[in-house]
């Protein structure tokens, strides 16, 4: 039987004595995209930080591609084939677009080859490889973060509110890029979102996080899913 791309079993963690996540469990199957939604401050980013080794777990286990990584430090997680775009993550403004993208590559000399599909998905970068990334617009910088995740050719991608502050056309482009990535490579994805339309469009399942617990979940394409999720984010 194939291993889950991600399996979280009853993790609890927080900052100091404040527990933010309470015995939280979830699974992401191979090639599956799961979206987690929740209001501000519910613990969504804390969960990704914990999965990526930035926070110690008080209890529970984390498995990535079947490997137990519960107590791995961030640098060991980074060596797994996982791409993570953190919510507060900036691109490296002093580096060029190409240098930012190349950071994701174990062998930078493969750049021209691996850039071909990414250049199709985000044509804006084709003419701008030597431009300083700090001079890109906010939306272009978010696209660069997604492009960097894709160019890594990861087994699993974590995106933390990648659509925050973006106009609809840029959100569409990112959704198309993620759809392409899944169709082409079957990459598993864990998407943290507050944009309900985007989240349900790109995912197979949704999870609702409330005060550090998953309080509901469902099929993203089920009738009424958007209304149900909207209820959790507004009440
Ligand atoms: N470094 C920290 N030290 C102490 N408390 C923190 C720290 N980071 C986050 N918190 C607290 O943990 C709780 C969850 O924060 P988190 O950033 O995970 O929320 P979130 O669901 O990602 O919210 P948002 O949608 O606003 O990004 C909040 O109450 C926050 O104040
Ligand atoms: Mg957050």
Q: Is the CB of 188 under 6 A from ligand 1?
A: no
Whole-number pLDDT of residue 180: 96
> Which residue out of 15, 24, 54, 199 has the highest number of ligand 1 atoms within 8 Å of its CB and is therefore the one to mutate?
15
In contact, 46 and 86? CB cutoff 8 Å: no
Nearest residue (CA) to ligand 1, atom 6: 15
Q: Where exactly are the structural domains of the chain?
A: 6-234
Whole-number pLDDT of residue 122: 96
The tens digit of pLDDT for each residue in 162-198 reads 999 999 999 999 999 999 999 999 999 999 999 999 9
Q: How far is the CA of 62 from the centre of ligand 1 (A)?
A: 20
Q: Decide: pTM greater than 0.85.
A: yes
Q: Is the CB of 22 under 6 A from ligand 1?
A: no
Count Cβ atoms below 10 Å from residue 75 Cβ, excluding itself. Answer: 8
The tens digit of pLDDT for each residue in 65-83 reads 999 999 999 999 988 999 9
User: Is the pLDDT at 2 greater than 90, yes or no?
Assistant: no
The tens digit of pLDDT for each residue in 131-156 reads 999 999 989 999 999 999 999 999 99
Tell me the CB-side half-sphere exposure of residue 146, using CA atoms within 13 A.
Answer: 29
Q: How far is the CA of 161 from the centre of ligand 2 (A)?
A: 7
Backbone angles phi, psi at 226, to 5 degrees: -60, -40
The tens digit of pLDDT for each residue in 194-228 reads 999 999 999 999 999 999 999 999 999 999 999 99
Share of the chain above pLDDT 90, in %: 92
Whole-number pLDDT of residue 85: 92
Count Cβ atoms below 10 Å from residue 119 Cβ, excluding itself. Answer: 16
Nearest residue (CA) to ligand 1, atom 30: 41
Beta bridge partners, 34, equal 190, 205
Q: How far is the CA of 117 from the centre of ligand 1 (A)?
A: 35
Count Cβ atoms below 10 Å from residue 103 Cβ, excluding itself. Answer: 13
Whole-number pLDDT of residue 90: 74
Top-level CATH class of 6-234?
alpha beta
The model's confidence at residue 128, banded by pLDDT at 50, 70 and 90, is very high
Query: Which ligand 1 atom is at minimum distance from the Cα of 194?
Result: 25
Q: How far is the CA of 103 from the centre of ligand 2 (A)?
A: 24
The tens digit of pLDDT for each residue in 82-125 reads 999 988 877 999 999 999 999 989 888 999 999 999 999 999 99
The tens digit of pLDDT for each residue in 11-38 reads 999 998 899 999 999 999 999 999 999 9
Residue 192: which of 42, 63, 57 has the closest Cα?
A: 42
> Could you give the angle at which helices 168-185 and 138-151 cross, rounded to 10 degrees?
0
Whole-number pLDDT of residue 17: 87
Whole-number pLDDT of residue 106: 85
């Amino acid at each position: 039987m194939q291993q889950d791309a991600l399996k979280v079993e009853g993790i609890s963690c927080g900052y100091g004595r404040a527990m933010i996540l309470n015995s939280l469990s979830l699974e992401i199957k191979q090639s599956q995209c799961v979206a987690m939604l929740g209001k501000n401050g519910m613990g969504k980013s804390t969960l990704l930080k914990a999965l990526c080794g930035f926070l110690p777990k008080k209890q529970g286990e984390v498995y990535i591609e079947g490997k137990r990584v519960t107590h791995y430090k961030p640098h060991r997680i980074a060596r797994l084939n996982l791409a993570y775009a953190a919510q507060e993550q900036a691109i490296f403004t002093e580096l060029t677009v190409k240098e930012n993208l190349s950071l994701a590559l174990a062998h930078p000399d493969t750049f021209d080859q691996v850039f071909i599909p990414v250049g199709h998905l985000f044509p804006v970068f084709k003419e701008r490889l030597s431009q300083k990334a700090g001079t890109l617009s906010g939306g272009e910088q978010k696209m660069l973060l997604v492009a960097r995740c894709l160019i890594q050719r990861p087994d699993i991608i974590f995106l933390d509110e990648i659509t925050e502050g973006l106009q609809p056309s840029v959100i569409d482009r990112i959704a198309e890029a993620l759809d392409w990535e899944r169709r082409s490579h079957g990459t598993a994805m864990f998407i943290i979102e507050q944009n309900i339309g985007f989240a349900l469009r790109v995912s197979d399942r949704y999870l609702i996080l409330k005060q550090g617990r998953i309080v509901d979940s469902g099929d993203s394409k089920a009738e009424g899913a958007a209304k149900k999720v909207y209820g959790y984010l507004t009440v």
